[in-house]
Amino acid sequence: MADLHELLSRLWEDYTALNPHALSVHKLLESRGESVVNDHIALRTFDDPRVGVEVLARAFLRFGYEPRGEYEFVKKKLRAMHYEHPDPAQPLVFISELKLAEMPEFVRDAVQRMIDQMPPGATDRWDFPVMGRPWSLDFATCQHLADASEYAGWLSAMGFRANHFTVLVNALKTFDSLEQLNDFLEQNGFQLNAGGGKIKGSPRAHLEQSSTLAEKVEIEFTDGGHVIPGCYYEFARRYPLPDGELFRGFVTQSADRIFESTDRRGD
C-alpha cells in the first residue's frame, strides 16, 4: 500500500524530471548548506465533476489531509482550495480548477472531449495527482485553448502533475529576506516572474511570494513534439499572525500573478 511519502516523492520526481531548472535551484541552495523545506505543492484541474478539486484532493485526503481555505480568482476564472496535514512538517497542498461555465463554448467542448478519453478508474488511483496527461491532444488545440485561458492551455498539455513546488524561505538560514534570495537567484542566472513586482504580497498580508518563470520544455502532441512553458519554482516567506502563529493560507491577489509564471511569452 502506497503512503504519503511515496506520493510526495513521485510528485517531486516527476516535477524535477520535467523541469530541471527547479532541481538546479534546489541543489544550489543545498550547496550553501541549506536544508530546503517545501512550503506547498500546487496542482491544477478543471471544474468538471469527474476531475474537479475535490476529486483530485481525494488522494491527499486518504493520507490525512484536511480542507482549509477556499479562494476565488475572478479574472482568471478559477476556484481553489488548500489542504493541510495534521503533521505540520508536511507541505500544504493547493488545488485550483478552471470554471468551465465562464469559458467560451469551444473550451468547454475541448475539455469535455479530453476528459471523455480518460481511462475508467483513473481518478480512484492513489497516484492520480501525478498521472500526467491521460488524453490525446494536438498542438493547435492546445494553443487555441491557451488563447482563451493560459491556464487551460497549460493544463491540457501537462495533465495532472505538480504545477509547482515552493521553498519555505523562513526555513533558510543564509538569507535574511525574500529580496535577498531573489537577488541570489538572478545572479545565478534564474529568471523571475516580475509581473506585479518580483515580490508579490507583503508582511501586512502575512505572506510574500516570488517565483521563477517556467522554462520551456518539449511536450509530445499527436502531431509531434512542441515546446511550451513547463513548471516553475516558487518561494514563500510567511509572517506571524497576531497570535504568533505563522499564517498558513494564501493571498488571492498575489497568487493571481504567480499563476502567470506558466504563461507563454513571445510565442
What does each of the 267 residues of the chain score in pLDDT, given as a tens digit?
689 999 999 999 999 999 999 999 999 999 999 999 999 999 999 999 999 999 999 999 999 999 999 999 998 999 999 999 999 999 999 999 999 999 999 999 999 999 999 999 999 999 999 999 999 999 999 999 999 999 999 999 999 999 999 999 999 999 999 999 999 999 999 999 988 889 999 999 999 999 998 889 999 999 999 999 999 999 999 999 999 999 999 988 766 566 666 665 654
Chain-centre distance for alpha carbon 243: 29
Q: Fill in the amino acid letter for 34.
A: E
**Residue written as grid cell 478539486:** 53
61 close to 7: Cβ distance less than 8 angstroms: no
Could you give the residue ranges of the DSSP H alpha helices within the chain? 4-18, 20-31, 53-61, 105-116, 139-148, 150-158, 178-187, 252-258
Query: pTM of the prediction?
Result: 0.94
CATH code, domain carrying 167: 3.10.180.50
Question: Could you tell me if residue 215 is inside a domain?
Answer: yes
Q: What's the confidence (pLDDT) of residue 267? A: 45
**Residues 6 or more apart whose Cβ sits within 8 Å of residue 4:** 63, 64, 85, 90
User: Which residue type is seen at 52?
Assistant: G
- Tell me, yes or no, whether 60 lies in a domain: yes
Q: Could you tell me if residue 201 is inside a domain?
A: yes
**Amino acid sitting at position 19:** N
53 found inside a domain: yes
Helix, strand, coil shares, percent, the chain, to 5: 40, 25, 35
DSSP 86-112: SSTTSPEEEEEEE-GGGS-HHHHHHHH
Which cell is 211 given? 517565483
- The answer to whether the CB of 109 falls within 8 A of the CB of 91 is no
Q: How many domains does the chain have?
A: 1
Q: Is residue 15 in a domain?
A: yes
Question: How far, in Å, CA of 38 to CA of 171, rounded?
Answer: 9
Q: At what angle do helices 105-116 and 139-148 cross, to 10 degrees?
A: 140
Q: In angstroms, rounded to a whole number, what is the distance separating the alpha carbons of residues 127 and 147? A: 30
Is 85 part of any domain? yes
Please report whether residue 75 resides in a domain. Answer: yes
Could you tell me if residue 267 is inside a domain? no
Domain that holds residue 90: 4-262
